[in-house]
Amino acid sequence: MKTIFSTSRTSSAATAAQPGKNAMTEEIAPADTTSAPPRLDVSHLAKTYGMGDKARTVIEDLTFTVDAGEVVCIVGPSGVGKTTLLKCLAGLHPSSSGRAAIDGRTISGPPPEMALVFQDYNRSLMPWLTVRKNLMLPLRHLHLSAAELKERCDDALAAVGLSHAEHQYPWQLSGGMQQRVAIARALAYRPEILIMDEPFASVDAQTRFDLEDLCLKIRRDFNMTILVVTHDIDEAVYLADRVVVLGSKPARVLRIVDVDLPAPRDQITTRSLPEFARQRTDVLSLIKRPA
Amino acid sequence: MKIQPKTLLTSAAGFLVAVAAWQLVATGPMAGGPLPTVTSVAVNLAAVVVTEAFWTSLATTVGIALLGLLTSAVAGIALGILVGSFEPFRYATVAVLEFLKPIPPIVILPLVVLVLGPTGQMSWFLVFLGCLLPIIMQTVDGVHDADPVARDTARSYGLKEPEILLRVVLPSAMPFIGTAIRVAAPGALIITVVAGLLGGGPGLGQSIYQAQAGGDYPTLYALVIVLGVLGMFFQGATSAVERRMLHWHESFREAAHR
Ligand SMILES: Nc1ncnc2c1ncn2[C@@H]1O[C@H](COP(=O)(O)OP(=O)(O)OP(=O)(O)O)[C@@H](O)[C@H]1O
Ligand SMILES: [Mg+2]
C-alpha cells in the first residue's frame, strides 16, 4: 500500500513540474527549509460566491493547519461555510484569497492524495452502478491489478459492514447504508488525506460509534491525516486531536481547541473521563455564544 | 410490468371492434370503392407473406430503419455531449440546430434523391438526419441534468474530463437519450417507408408504391397492415431495450424488481 501512495505522489509532482500541463499543485519554495511544512496548511483563506452585486462572502479569513497523522474536527453552526471550506481544500473551487496547501504545494485542483466524502452522500453515489462498482469508479485510473482492486473493495466494504450489499444498487439501500458506501469508496481509494463532510449523520448510534472507531483505526494503521466536519460536539471531542470551531458570518476561526485525551480512545472509558466533559463544555460554550 | 388479463381482453375487444367497423364500412357505404374488405385484405396478406420478395423487402426496411436509428444515436449522443458540455460548441450550433429542428426530413428528400439516387443510402441518410436532431437535443438536456455533486465526486477522485463525460455525464443523460430513441424509433420506420414511396428507395415503401401504381388495393392494404404490426414491434423492442438499460432509473425501478 505504501508503494501505491508514493507512486501517486511522485506522479503528481511530475505533473506539477511540467509547464503547460494542467498542474494539480504548484511547487512553492518553503520559507523555512529546516522544518517540514504541515500536511495541510490553510492560511487567510477567503471565499466569496458570485461577483459584483451578487457577491457573497461566506468565508472571511481562515487559518489553521493539520499535521500528518492528525485527526482534526471542524464544528460550527449550519450555513457557516464548512462545506464551502472543504470544497476549497478538495480543489473543487478556487478560493478568493489566501491559500490552502498540501506539503507546501498550493492546492489548485483536486489533489491526488486526497479523498472527500460528500455531505450529499446519496447524490455522490452513481445510481447506475452497484455498490462494488461505485467503489471501483475512482480506482480505474490508478491502474491497479485485478487482485489489488478486489482486495481494496473487499476490505473497504468489510470495514463499514456492507460486504453483503456489494451487488445492490445504492437506491436499494437505507440512507445510513448509502452513507457507509460513500465512506467505503473513500477508504478503497486509500488516500493519504481523508476529508469527510458530516459523514456519520444518517447512521444509528451503534454504527456511528463503530465508524468513529474505524476512523481512529485507519489513522493509526495508515498514519492517515483526517479532517472531519461534524455537528456533534461529543463526536468532535472524541475523534479529534484538535477541534477547529468556526463561527460568525462570514466565517472565522473562533478558536482551535487542543484535545488532550489519552490514546487509544474508547467509546466508554474516554467519554466518561471528567476531562472529556470539560473539553466538550469548552467547545459547546464557544458555539452557544451568540455570534 | 406484467400485462393483466383484463387489460389484454379490453385491447383485443377494441381491436375487434375496429376491424368490424372497417368491414362494415367496406361492405356497406363504400362497397365497390377503393377500400377493400377485411376478408379480401386478409386473403391477400396470406398470399403476400409466403413470397420471398415480401420478406426481402421487409428485411430491407427494418435494416435501413435500424441502421439509420443506430448511426444517428451514435452521432447524436456524441454531438449532444459536446454541445452540452462545452459552451463554445453550444453557441456555435444553437442557431443551426434551432433552425433545423422544425424542418421534417421529407422536405429535403428530392435533394437527397438527386444526389444519392433511389438507393438504400438515400433512405438511410434521411432516417439518419430525421432522428439525429431530437437525439442531439435530448442528449444536451440530459447532460445539463447531470448532478453536479456526482460530477464533483468524480473530479475530486482525480477523474479527468473525458472519463467524467463517459462514466458520469453519459450515464446521467441516458434517461433522456432513451426517451429520444424510443420516440425516434417509429419515425425511423416511417421515414424509411416514405423514402421508398416517394423517393424510390428499396423496401416496403417501394412495394406499397408498386401495389398502388398497379391498382392492387388489397395488397396495398395488406402491406399497410404489415407496416402497422412492424411499428408495434419496433416500439415494443425499443421500449424493452430502454427498460433494460435504464433499470436503475427512478421511472423503471419498480418494474425491474417486481
Ligand atoms: N454555490 C453557491 N453559491 C452561492 N452561495 C452558496 C453556494 N454554496 C453555498 N452557498 C452559501 O454559503 C453558505 C455556507 O454554505 P455551506 O454549505 O458551506 O454551509 P455549511 O457550514 O456546510 O452548512 P451545513 O452545516 O448546513 O452543511 C450558505 O449560506 C450557502 O447559502
Ligand atoms: Mg455542509
Structure ipTM: 0.82
Question: Ligand 1 atom 1: the closest Cα is on which residue?
Answer: A49
| A288 vs A18, residue with greater confidence | A288
Question: How many CB pairs (< 8 A) connect A and B?
Answer: 55
| Spatial contact of A243 and A73, defined as CB atoms under 8 Å apart | yes
Amino acid A202: pLDDT: 86
Percent of chain B residues past pLDDT 90, beyond the cut: 48
Amino acid A13: pLDDT: 39
Rounded mean pLDDT, A59-75: 91
Q: Do B171 and A126 touch (CB under 8 A)?
A: yes
Amino acid A8: pLDDT: 38
Nearest ligand 1 atom to the CA of A246 is: 21
Domains of chain B: which residue ranges?
Answer: 63-256
Q: Which of B149, B152, B156 should we substitute to test contact with A (largest number of A Cβ atoms within 10 Å)?
A: B156
Amino acid A17: pLDDT: 39
- Candidate of A47, A48, A49 to mutate for ligand 1, largest count of ligand atoms within 8 Å of Cβ: A49
Rounded mean pLDDT, A197-204: 90
State yes or no: pLDDT of A142 exceeds 80.
yes
Rounded mean pLDDT, B65-81: 95
Smallest CA–CA distance from B247 into chain A, residue: A128
Cβ neighbourhood burial of A168 (10 Å; 0-12, 13-18, 19+): middle
| B75 vs B25, residue with greater confidence | B75
Strand partners, A61: A252
Smallest CA–CA distance from A124 into chain B, residue: B150
Q: Do A124 and B159 touch (CB under 8 A)?
A: no
A276 touches chain B (CB under 8 A): no
Pocket, ligand 1, Cβ cutoff 6 A:
A 49, 56, 58, 78-84, 119
Amino acid B7: pLDDT: 84
Q: Which of A92, A128, A140, A190 should we substitute to test contact with B (largest number of B Cβ atoms within 10 Å)?
A: A128
Amino acid A180: pLDDT: 92
Q: How close is the Cα of A197 to the center of ligand 2, in Å?
A: 7
Question: What are the tens digits of pLDDT across the range A37-47?
Answer: 788 999 999 99
Q: Do B156 and A171 touch (CB under 8 A)?
A: no
Strand partners, A229: A74, A197
| Spatial contact of A171 and B253, defined as CB atoms under 8 Å apart | yes
Cβ contacts of A123 on chain B, cutoff 8 Å: 147, 149-150
- Candidate of A45, A54, A58 to mutate for ligand 1, largest count of ligand atoms within 8 Å of Cβ: A58
Rounded mean pLDDT, A255-259: 88
Q: Do B149 and A110 touch (CB under 8 A)?
A: no
Smallest CA–CA distance from B171 into chain A, residue: A128
Cβ contacts of B155 on chain A, cutoff 8 Å: 92, 110
Amino acid A12: pLDDT: 40
Percent of chain A residues past pLDDT 70, beyond the cut: 87
| Spatial contact of A85 and A251, defined as CB atoms under 8 Å apart | yes
Region of poorest pLDDT, from A85-89, B73-77, B222-226? B222-226
Mean pLDDT of chain B: 89
State yes or no: pLDDT of A89 exceeds 50.
yes
| B154 vs B32, residue with greater confidence | B154
A138 touches chain B (CB under 8 A): yes
Nearest ligand 1 atom to the CA of A76 is: 21
Highest-confidence segment of A37-51, A183-197, A211-225: A183-197
Cβ contacts of B163 on chain A, cutoff 8 Å: 140-141
State yes or no: pLDDT of A25 exceeds 70.
no
Amino acid B191: pLDDT: 93
Q: How close is the Cα of A179 to the center of ligand 1, in Å?
A: 20
Q: Secondary structure of chain A in the HEC alphabet?
A: CHHHHHHHHHHHHHHHHCCCCCCCEECCCCCCCCCCCCCEEEEEEEEEECCHHHCEEEEEEEEEEECCCCEEEEECCCCCCHHHHHHHHCCCCCCCEEEEEECCEEECCCCCCEEEECCCHHHHCCCCCCHHHHHHHHHHHHCCCHHHHHHHHHHHHHHCCCHHHCCCCHHHCCHHHHHHHHHHHHHHHCCCEEEEECCCCCCCHHHHHHHHHHHHHHHHHHCCEEEEECCCHHHHHHHCCEEEEEECCCEEEEEEEECCCCCCCCCCCHHHCHHHHHHHHHHHHHHHCCC
State yes or no: pLDDT of A26 exceeds 80.
no
Region of poorest pLDDT, from A199-203, A205-209, B189-193, B252-256? B252-256
Nearest CA among A52, A46, A111 for reference residue A84: A46
Q: Secondary structure of chain B in the HEC alphabet?
A: CCCCHHHHHHHHHHHHHHHHHHHHHHHCCCCCCCCCCHHHHHHHHHHHCCCHHHHHHHHHHHHHHHHHHHHHHHHHHHHHHHHHHCHHHHHHHHHHHHHHCCCCHHHHHHHHHHHHCCCHHHHHHHHHHHHHHHHHHHHHHHHHHCCHHHHHHHHHCCCCHHHHHHHHHHHHHHHHHHHHHHHHHHHHHHHHHHHHHHHCCCCHHHHHHHHHHCCCHHHHHHHHHHHHHHHHHHHHHHHHHHHHHCCCCHHHHHHHHC
Between CA B182 and CA B231 the distance in angstroms is: 12
Q: Do B152 and A91 touch (CB under 8 A)?
A: no
Ligand nearest to the CA of A79: 1
Question: What are the tens digits of pLDDT across the range B118-127?
Answer: 999 999 999 9
Smallest CA–CA distance from B167 into chain A, residue: A137
Ligand nearest to the CA of A84: 1
Q: Do A118 and B168 touch (CB under 8 A)?
A: no
Q: Do A110 and B147 touch (CB under 8 A)?
A: no
Amino acid B254: pLDDT: 66
Cβ contacts of B150 on chain A, cutoff 8 Å: 123-124, 126
Which of B159, B171, B248 is closest, CB to CB, to A141?
Answer: B159
State yes or no: pLDDT of A6 exceeds 50.
no
Hunting for cell 414491434 — which residue is that? B233
Question: What are the tens digits of pLDDT across the range B199-257?
Answer: 888 999 999 999 888 888 888 888 988 999 999 888 899 999 999 989 999 888 865 44
Q: Do A120 and B149 touch (CB under 8 A)?
A: yes
- Cis? peptide before B36, omega within 30° of 0: no
Amino acid A23: pLDDT: 44
Class of domain B63-256: mainly alpha
Amino acid A14: pLDDT: 39
Q: Do B159 and A115 touch (CB under 8 A)?
A: no
A193 touches chain B (CB under 8 A): no
Cell numbers found for residue B185: 424509433
Other beta carbons within 10 Å of A6: 12
Q: Do B163 and A123 touch (CB under 8 A)?
A: no
Between CA B258 and CA B255 the distance in angstroms is: 6
State yes or no: pLDDT of B27 exceeds 50.
yes
Q: Write out residues 36-75 of A within 8 Å (CB-CB) of B.
A: none
Cβ contacts of B249 on chain A, cutoff 8 Å: 127-128
